[in-house]
Amino acid sequence: MGKREPIDDSPAAAPPQFEGGRAELALRESEARFRSLVELSSDWYWEQDAQFRLIRLEGRHAMQAYSSASELLGKHPWEYPGVVSDSADFDRIRATMMAHQPFRDLEYAFRDQQGYLRYVSVTGEPLMDPNGQFTGYRGTSRDVTARRRAQALVALEHAVTRSLAEADSSREVLKAVMRVICESEQWETAGYFRVEDEAGTARLIVGWNGPDARRATIEYYKGTLDTVVAPGGLLSRVIAAGKPIWIADMNVSQTTWRERVTRTDQRATFSFPVWADG
């Protein structure tokens, strides 16, 4: 009988295709760990090229604010849809990137597809090739809207309290409260209307225009004090329902303020009832 050679089952004797399969499995496991870490530590991971154009975006929350990644890929951060690029916060991010410096927890704002203001905290580090040449950035981002919103509401409450303490008359109180609310929520104008009768007639008692209101808007509201709004429109609906009403586009709604819509070009409006002693 011939002598059988012993079988060598050591790793070095594994067939090439097995080695390739093991490497592919290790790569998949590494990618899975990477995605898990991104989701635990942030909402999404991103990479930029040497011109600061976005070339990679990953994370389960990455597309909550946009319809697809194509809206962002290939764009500079200051070109992202809805980004508030003229803010001091964004200027700091841009200056740091231009200097090829790392940054941590810098925040900027943008408006999503529904027009809501959202806040993002970003952390990034520059990438260098073996020769020390800058090749881009990589980093992570987190949606911090909820935290910023909570901070804004606390600041708003304090501002309203100070306004109530400093105002000399009920009219000044109303104007001060409208100012701090509108500045916090980025509204252009506000008005307080007194209910005149059961039919829903209302009279403008005091109004407020923000410094960023357009000239046409400011011109329209000049001299509108004591304006009487006839029943049958938005204010009547608020009075009858006793609940807030939000209208995103007054051009397609029933309103008795057609001149206001035409002359100011204001589209969105929010009205709510004020209760006193029930």
Pair (216, 276) in one structural domain: yes
Pair (215, 232) in one structural domain: yes
Query: Is residue 175 domain-resident?
Result: yes
Number of domains in the chain: 3
At 193, phi and psi to the nearest 5? -115, 135
Pair (216, 270) in one structural domain: yes
Query: 53 by DSSP, 3-state: which?
Result: coil
Pair (42, 139) in one structural domain: yes
Query: 187 by DSSP, 3-state: which?
Result: coil
Q: How many CB atoms lie within 10 A of CB 143?
A: 17
For 68, the token pair is: 């697809």
Query: Is residue 2 domain-resident?
Result: no
Query: Is residue 13 domain-resident?
Result: no
Query: Is residue 43 domain-resident?
Result: yes
pLDDT reported for residue 72: 85
pLDDT tens per residue, the chain (278 residues)?
Answer: 555 555 455 555 555 555 566 666 665 655 655 555 555 555 788 999 999 999 998 876 555 556 566 788 999 999 988 888 877 788 899 999 999 999 999 998 888 777 777 888 999 999 999 999 999 999 988 888 888 888 878 887 887 788 777 777 788 888 888 888 887 777 888 889 999 988 888 898 888 888 777 787 777 777 777 888 888 888 888 888 889 988 877 776 655 566 677 777 777 888 999 888 87
CATH of the domain at 96: 3.30.450.20
Query: Is residue 136 domain-resident?
Result: yes
Is residue 271 within 8 Å of residue 244, measured between CB atoms?
Answer: yes
Query: Is residue 94 domain-resident?
Result: yes
Pair (135, 59) in one structural domain: yes
Query: Is residue 9 domain-resident?
Result: no
pLDDT reported for residue 47: 94
Is residue 79 within 8 Å of residue 71, measured between CB atoms?
Answer: no
pLDDT reported for residue 61: 56
pLDDT reported for residue 166: 77
Question: DSSP string of 153-166?
Answer: HHHHHHHHHHHHHH
Within the chain, strands assigned E span: 44-48, 54-58, 103-111, 117-128, 134-143, 189-195, 202-209, 228-229, 245-247, 269-271
Instruction: Provide the residue range defining the domain that includes 227.
Output: 188-278
pLDDT reported for residue 182: 82
Pair (182, 251) in one structural domain: no
240: left (phi over 0), alpha (psi -120 to 50) or beta: alpha
